Amino acid sequence: MPRWRATILPMRRVPTLLVSLITLLLLPGCAHDAGREFARYYDEQGLFALNLPAANDITVTPPQPAETGPGLLTGVVSSPPAPSPSPAAGAFGGGIDVAGAEPDQTVYQAFAVTADGFDDLDQMALYFLTGDPIVDVTIDDPTRVDGDPARLIVADIDQAGEVTSSLAAAMTLGDGATGYLIVAQFPPGGWNEERDDFERIVRSFRTNVPPGLETFPVAGQAP
């Protein structure tokens, strides 16, 4: 089966902000089963809450201030659990059962960032996503995130002429001081299959929630 790479787009020009919007992955390019079940995630800083796939592993990204440009206030990465190898029937010495159901490979991320350095959503989108030459935007539409004006951007990641992954991102300046990004990464060309779940997640997003509430078991904190 072909493999795909979701390449990290770093928060450029902010070397001290050690978080990126797109995690470095090497995963099979497979569609997910429709109808994910969701559970509520509450940011421990109280900055946002949203629904994420209940089966996923959750990793919290702690605050990371920046000397210049936007700083990360808080974040979360929601990743499908790694599949467990299982012996293949009749295989010499066992092996991986490649005939089994393909695992979900879509990764979701949500971040709260300082936004007072951006004049508008165009600047925010350019900084975090569209300014990188490997990002080939296929959709750029207005939308809303928790009632605030936002941008929906769907793009392919093109490296050396090869589309290695696709992504969808909803971003908003929020109240002008705190902005938010919601990102989904998936195999190339998978937007039609991913759209419904991504839109459900975006619709579920809320800001200014009580801190300390938690539904998911947290796998750990990013360094």
Asked if residue 220 is part of any domain, the answer here is no
- Give Cβ neighbours of residue 209 (< 8 Å, ≥ 6 apart): 42, 43, 46, 47, 48, 49
Q: Which of 43-47, 89-93, 189-193 has the lowest mean pLDDT?
A: 89-93
- Structure tokens given for 147: 């009632």
Asked if residue 137 is part of any domain, the answer here is yes
- CA 10-14-19 angle, to 5 degrees, is 45
Asked if residue 90 is part of any domain, the answer here is no
d(CA 187, CA 205): 24
Asked if residue 95 is part of any domain, the answer here is no
Residue 123, SS3? helix
* 8 Å CB contact between 214 and 42: yes
Residue 212 pLDDT: 60
Closest CA to 28 of 219, 135, 188: 188
Whole-structure pTM value: 0.77
Reported as a pLDDT band with limits 50, 70 and 90, residue 132 is: confident
Asked if residue 188 is part of any domain, the answer here is yes
- Give Cβ neighbours of residue 152 (< 8 Å, ≥ 6 apart): 139, 140, 141, 142, 143, 168, 169, 170, 202
Q: Pairing state of beta strands 25-28 and 38-42?
A: unpaired
Q: What is the pLDDT of residues 47-85, one digit of tens each?
A: 999 999 999 999 998 898 887 789 999 999 999 987 665
Asked if residue 92 is part of any domain, the answer here is no
Residue 95 pLDDT: 42
Q: How far is CA 171 from CA 74, 100, 111, in A?
A: 15, 37, 9
Asked if residue 89 is part of any domain, the answer here is no
Segments forming the whole domain that contains residue 185: 3-80+103-214
**Number of structural domains the chain divides into:** 1
Asked if residue 98 is part of any domain, the answer here is no
In CATH, what number is assigned to the domain containing residue 59?
3.40.1000.10
